[in-house]
Structure 1
Amino acid sequence: MSKNKIPTSHEDNHLRRADLNLLTVFDAVMQLQNITRAARMLGMSQPAVSNAVSRLKNMFSDELFVRSGRGIEPTARAHQLYGPIRQALQLVTNELPGLGFDPQTSRRQFSITISSPLDLLLAPKILNVLSQASSGVTLNIESLVNENIENQLRYQELEFAIDYRCIDRSDFYNQLLFEDELVIISSNNHPRIDQQESQRYFFTEKHAVVRLSGHSSFSFPYYNTAETQEKVCYQGASLISVMEIVSRTEMVALVPKWLALLSSERLNLRIDSLSWLDNKLNSYLSWHESASKDKGNLWMKELLTQCVSMP
C-alpha cells in the first residue's frame, strides 16, 4: 500500500455513493406530506420529486411514504429518520455562508402550541413582539396541547410548546417561564361561603373544572380521590367557560391567579387563596433536542422568553 494512500472504510464508500441532495427532498416531503407542494417549495418539477422519493426508498430500503387521500403518509421508518436528518440539515445550513438565520430577511414560518388559558395571556404579547422584531417571519399558534404533542415536537411539526406541564423525557428540553399559583373562585353572590376559609368550602361545595382527562388538565392532581371527584358536577372545555359557569351558579373552581384577577371584576368573582394546598403552578417552554441547534429556533426561543419577562 502506498504511504500516501489513506485507507477508507466500507461506511465511507457507502456514504460517498449516496446522493445526499435527496435528503432535502425527504425533508420537504416530510414537512408537507404532498409531492406537488414539496416540488413547489423546492423549485423542482413534480416528476423530479417523485423520482427522488423513489431513490430515497432504495437508499433506506423502506417505502417511506404511502398514499393517503390526496396526499401521502410517512411510514414508521420515515418518522424515525426525520428528526436526525432534519437536525443534520439544520447544522449544515447554519454553517454555510449566507444561509444562516436573519430575522430581518427571513420568510420562515414557525409553529408553536400554547395550552389554554396561557394563550390568552401570552399570544398577544408574542405576536406584538414578533411584528416589531421581524416583518417577514410568521408564527402559527395553536391553543391546544394534546397527547400527540411529543411526536409533533419530535418530528418538528411544531417547534415549541408552552404548557403548565413539562415533558419529562431525556430527549426534550424544558425551560421554566414563570411561576404562578392556583386560587379558588366563587360568585360574590354565593349564599353559603360568606366568610368561610377556602379549606372548608373546598370540600363541601360543588366544583366546576376543565375536563379531568387529557394532557393539559392541570386540575387533575387536585381531583384524584373519590371524595373530590364526587364534588365535580361540571367539566368544561376551557377555563373561560368554567369561570362563566361559576359566576352564575353556586359552584367553585380552581384557576390560575392571573386569570382570576383579570376576570374577577367583570364576572363579579370572589378570590380566595389555597395556602393550605400545594398550589404552585409553573409554566414551561418545551422543545425537542432535534430543534436545539437551529439558529432560527434559538432566535424564536429568545423571543418567547422575552415576551414572558415583559410586564
Structure 2
Amino acid sequence: MPEKIIIKRRSEEDINIRLKDKLDLNLIPIFSAVMQRRNITKAAQVLGMSQPAVSNAISKLKKTFGDPLFVRQGRGIEPTLRAFQLEAEFRQALFLIHNVFPPAHFEPFKSSRTFTLVLQSPLDTLFFTKIYQYICHHAPGIRLNVRSSESSYTQDGNHVDFTISYEPVTGENIFNQLLFEDEMVCVAKKTWGQNLSLMTESAFYRARHAVVSLKNSGSFSAIWYDTPLKRSAIVHQGQCLFSLLEVVSRTNLVAIMPTWITRRWHNGPEVIHLTLPLPVKKRACYLTGYTTNLDDPGFRWMLDTLTRICQKP
C-alpha cells in the first residue's frame, strides 16, 4: 500500500522566512516544471532552458534540502516523498511570488517553448491544420507536440498543456473553457435512410449501428450506448467517424456524427443525414488547460490563440 503523504500547510510568513533563508526563488519554477513533466529534458523545453541548466538547478535543491528529490524510473523520474512535500509548499510560494512580481512579457515570435496538445478525434481533423498554420506563421520557434488520443496530463510521465475534446476534465490545476456546442445527426445510406425519416427513439435502437469503438479511450459514440439494450444495436465498431461514413454509405447501418462532418465528407449522393430522435442532440466541445499558474504569459497566449482559432465549425 502506498505510503500516505501528510502535508502540513504553513503560514505565508513562515514560508517567506524559510525561502529567504534557504533558497534561490528562481529554482521554484524549475522544480515545479520537473514535477509536472517527470522528465528533465521536457521540463527544459518548456522553460526554454538547457538540460544541464535544469539538472544543475535540481542539484542545488538536492543539496539545500538534503534529499535526492527525484529517482529514475523507466524513461522518466519519480519524486520522493520529500519532493511531494516541497511541491505543496512551493505551490503556495509561487502564488505569493506571482502576486508580488508581474509576469514576464511573452513574445511568441521569439519563443522556443514546446506545447503539447491532445485533440480528440474527430476534432483533430477539424482544428490541427488551422493551429499548425497559425503557429508556423506567428510563432515559428514554438514546437507543437499534438496527439489525437485521450491522455491524463500526468499519464506515463507525459505532460499535456491543452486538450480539445467533448468532455470537460476535472482535477487540480485544470482549467476548462466551453468552445461551442456541436449539433449531431443520424447518418444513413440514402436508399435506406428514407425509410427512417420519422423514426422514434425505440425504432432508432432497433436499427443496426456503426459506432466509434467503445473500447477507445474517450469514444465519441459511448454516451449514446450506455445500456446493454442500446449496445445490442451495434454491428460495427470502427476507429474513427470517417471510416463509419464509408461503412454507412455501403450498408444498411446508421451512425451518429456531427453535422459538419456530413457537410465536408458526405460521400456524394449515397449518404443522407436525418434528425436524431434522441434527447442528446448536441455535444459540448471544451478547451482544457493544465497549469499551476494561470498568469503564465505563455499559457495565456496559447489559451487565447486556441480559443480564437477553434470556433464552431
Give TM class, smaller chain: 0.7 to 0.9
Q: Does 1:295 align with 2:302?
A: no
Helix, strand or coil at the partner of 1:135? coil
Q: How large is the Cα RMSD of the aligned pairs? A: 3.8
Quote the offset at 1:144 in angstroms. Answer: 1.2
Paired residues for 1:119-138 under 5 Å: 119-138=124-143
1:271 to partner: Cα distance: 0.7
The verdict on how the C-alpha distance between 1:221 and 1:43 changes in structure 2, with shifts beyond 3 A counting, is closer
SS at match of 1:139: strand
SS in 1 for 2:127: helix
1:16 aligns with 2:20: yes
CA contact (8 A) 1:198 1:273 kept: no
Letter in 1 for 2:91: P
Segments of 5+ residues of structure 2 without an aligned counterpart are 1-12
Structure 2 equivalent of residue 117 of structure 1: 122
Aligned equivalent of 1:66, options 50, 68, 71? 71
Shift of 1:305: 1.3
2:280 maps to which residue? Answer: 278
C-alpha change, 1:140 and 1:54, in structure 2 (3 Å) is closer
Deviation at 1:254, TM superposition (A): 0.7
Q: 1:60 to 1:188 in 2, by over 3 A?
A: farther
Q: 1:95 aligns with which of 91, 99, 102?
A: 102
Matching of residue 84 in structure 1 with residue 86 in structure 2? no
Conserved? CA contact 2:175–2:290, under 8 Å = yes
Classify 1:207/1:44 alpha carbon distance in 2 versus 1 (closer, same or farther; 3 Å): closer
**Structure 1's 72 and 247: CA in aligned 2 closer, same or farther, altered over 3 A?**
same
Alignment of 1:1-311 (within 5 A): 11-20=15-24, 21-23=26-28, 25-27=30-32, 29-30=34-35, 31=37, 33-34=39-40, 42-43=49-50, 45=52, 49=55, 53=58, 55-57=60-62, 59=64, 63-69=68-74, 71-75=76-80, 78=83, 81=87, 84=91, 91=98, 95=102, 99-146=104-151, 148-149=152-153, 151=154, 157-169=159-171, 171-190=173-192, 194=195, 196-199=197-200, 201-213=203-215, 215-266=217-268, 268-274=270-276, 276-288=278-290, 290-309=292-311
TM-score (norm 1): 0.77
Q: Which runs of 5+ in 1 are unaligned?
A: 1-8
The structural deviation recorded for 1:90 is 9.0
Residue 69 of structure 1: CA displacement?
3.9
Distance 1:267 1:169, change over 3 A: farther
TM-score by length of 2: 0.77
Partner Cα distance (1:128, 1:176) in 2: 23
Q: Give the SS at the match of 1:158.
A: coil
Letter in 2 for 1:256: P
Counterparts of 1:121 and 1:36, CA distance in 2 = 28
Deviation at 1:111, TM superposition (A): 1.4
How far does residue 138 in structure 1 lie from its aligned partner after superposition? Answer: 2.7
What amino acid is the match of 1:14?
R
Identity of aligned residues (%): 32
Deviation (angstroms), 1:185: 0.8
Contact 2:188 2:255 in 1 (8 A): yes
Task: Give 1:296's aligned amino acid.
Answer: G
The alignment covers a number of residue pairs equal to 295
Taking the aligned partners of 1:138 and 1:93, their CA distance within structure 2 comes to: 30
- TM-superposition CA deviations, 1:110-139 (whole Å, max 9, x none): 111110000101111111222232232232
**Aligned partners of 1:93 and 1:100 also within 8 Å:** no
Partners of 2:175 and 2:229 lie apart in 1 by: 36
* C-alpha displacement of 1:223: 0.9
Compared with structure 1, are the counterparts of its residues 230 and 195 closer, same or farther at alpha carbon in structure 2 (3 Å cutoff)? Answer: closer
Q: Deviations over 1:274-294 (max 9, x none)?
A: 155321111111123524111
